[in-house]
Every structure is written in C-alpha cells, then in structure tokens.
Amino acid sequence: MISFEFIRQGYIVLKELPVFLQGLIVFAFGFLLSWVCSIFGIWIHSLSSSESGLLGNVIGAGATLVAAIAGVSFAFEQLSKQLEHKVIYEAWIDFQKHLYEFSASLSVFDTTVLDLKYFVGNQTNVFANLDDPQKYRLNTHQKFFQTYSDLVHAYVLLLQSFETHEIIFLTLRQMKDVFVRECDVLIFDKYRNFEQMIFPLLSGVTEFSILERNNAIDDYWEGMTKVSGYLDDFRVELQNTTIGQILKKTVPYRHPTVRMKILTKTGLKEVIP
C-alpha cells in the first residue's frame, strides 16, 4: 500500500526537477492513469453486463477528469512559481542598481580623498593654488564635500531599497546590519574629524603636520577600501541568494591572497590564505 508520506516525498522530488520534466511526468502519469482505467473498463465490459459497461464508461470519464484536474493544478503551481521568481528578480534588479550607484560614489570619494595628499603638500605652491591659496582651499573643500554628499545620498537609497524588499532578503539582514556598522565606523563617523583635520580654517592654519595629515588620509582611504571589499561580498551573496536560487547556480566568493576579513551572511570572517 502506497503511504501518504511516500506520495509527499515524491511530490517534493518532482518540484525540484526542471519545469519541462515536471510537465512530462505529470502528463505521462495522467495518460497512464487514463489508459489503465480504460483497460479496466474494457475488462468490466467483457463481463457481458449492461451495468458493467456503464461502470467502465464512468471509470474512464473519472480517470480523464482526474488527469485534467492534475494538469490544471500543475499549471497553476507553475504560474505561481513564475510570479514568485518575477518578484525576486525585480527586487534583485532594484537593489543591485543601488549597490552599483553606491559603489560608484564610493570610488569617486576615495579617489578624492587620496588626491588630498597633493592638496596638503601644495597649499603654498603658486603653481597649484594659482597665487590664491584661499580660493584653492575653498575649491578643494567644495569638491571634497560634494563627493561625500553624493556618497551619503547613494548610501541612503541603498538602505531604502533593502528595506523595501526586506521580505525577500530576510536571510541577509544580519549581513546588512554588519555592513551598515562597518560603513559607520570606517567612513561616516570619521568624516567630521577628518574634514577638520584637513581643512582646519580657510586661513590654512593647523596644528597638524603634513605627515600627520597624510597619515590620516591613508587611514581614511584604507577604511574605504575595506568597505569596497565588503560591498563586493554583499553583491555576491545577494546574487547567490536570489537569482542563484532560481538558476541553481552560484557566484564564487572572494578569496583574498593576503590575510583580511570578508563579509559573510553571519558577519565578518577573517581569512588566512
């Protein structure tokens, strides 16, 4: 006797098969069921009884109905699965777009920060400041502040996109929280002190030496390179969790060649090559 558990396990296995194989199996089963019932009806009809003939026709019609119901149920399930995949894909597209925009803004900002070394060492150079040190400092600060503002704007849109599709990205919530914490610690919390250190006053008077300010630039820039790596980790995990589940494929994770931390679904993990 076939148990309900056996049927349930068979259904689970069937769902894991490609769609075209699922369709072939369902319709083949329906055809087989219809054929067996028809043979059974012919056998009953051979008993030379008018009632048996009627019973055979009823059984044949019933088998056809069962096969039709199975086919319709399968079709509805496939439509439901397609809708689910569509929702996941659209969420991935939206969040991926904001990941790219944040990555692009981060790249512009870290380049701007690295360029500050030239500014720090050449504030009094007439070839650099065009004989107007105050205007040179003001223009450099405006560029620095604008690229930072663009980064903050892209960051806010990135988090809004995650929250909009959070029901789809539930398994990535802890990863997102760690990413936010690292962005705050390495970039946003340091911004004000860094700005005051590099741009103390428009007069250019500062208590920090050129070496100290260059070290601060290196430290700030290094923090942004870490965030850039975490961003790539986030992108890969996002793709594997969404599109990867649909296509049954995965993108390789980052494998550093030197000792460093990578971002995973459960937090930061130190990798030692």
Per-residue pLDDT tens for 162-189? 999 998 999 999 999 999 999 999 999 9
Check residues 60 and 167 and name the one with the higher pLDDT.
167
CB 59 within 8 A of CB 41: yes
Indicate the residue type of 256: P
CA–CA gap between residue 231 and residue 162 (Å, rounded): 14
pLDDT surpasses 50 at 263: yes
Tokens, residue 94: 């939206």
Check residues 174 and 77 and name the one with the higher pLDDT.
174
Please, which pLDDT band fits residue 67 given cuts at 50, 70 and 90?
low
Q: What is the pLDDT of residue 31?
A: 63
**Alpha-carbon Rg of the chain, whole angstroms?**
32
Q: What is the pLDDT of residue 246?
A: 82
CB 216 within 8 A of CB 232: no
DSSP 8-state secondary structure symbol assigned to residue 218: H
Per-residue pLDDT tens for 83-122? 677 888 898 899 999 999 999 999 999 999 999 999 988 8
User: Does CATH number 1.20.120 belong to domain 86-271?
Assistant: yes
262: β partners: 269
Q: What is the pLDDT of residue 7?
A: 46
Residue 59 makes CB contacts below 8 A (sequence gap 6+) with: 37, 40, 41, 44
Burial of 124 (0-12, 13-18, 19+ CB in 10 A): exposed
Report which of 123, 90, 117, 126 is spatially closest to residue 218, judged by C-alpha positions: 117
Per-residue pLDDT tens for 127-174? 777 767 888 888 999 999 999 999 999 999 999 999 999 989 999 999
Residue 65 makes CB contacts below 8 A (sequence gap 6+) with: none
Give the three-state DSSP class for 271: strand
pLDDT surpasses 90 at 74: no
CA–CA gap between residue 126 and residue 145 (Å, rounded): 24
Q: What is the pLDDT of residue 132?
A: 79
Q: What is the pLDDT of residue 235?
A: 93
The domain limits of the chain are: 4-81, 86-271
Q: What is the pLDDT of residue 127?
A: 72
Q: What is the pLDDT of residue 136?
A: 84
269: β partners: 262
**Mean pLDDT along residues 253-260:** 90
Range name among 55-59, 119-123, 227-231 with the lowest pLDDT average: 55-59
Listed in sequence order, the DSSP H helices in 122-209 are 126-129, 133-164, 173-183, 191-198
Tokens, residue 252: 């390789």
* Proportion of the chain above pLDDT 70, given as a percent: 68
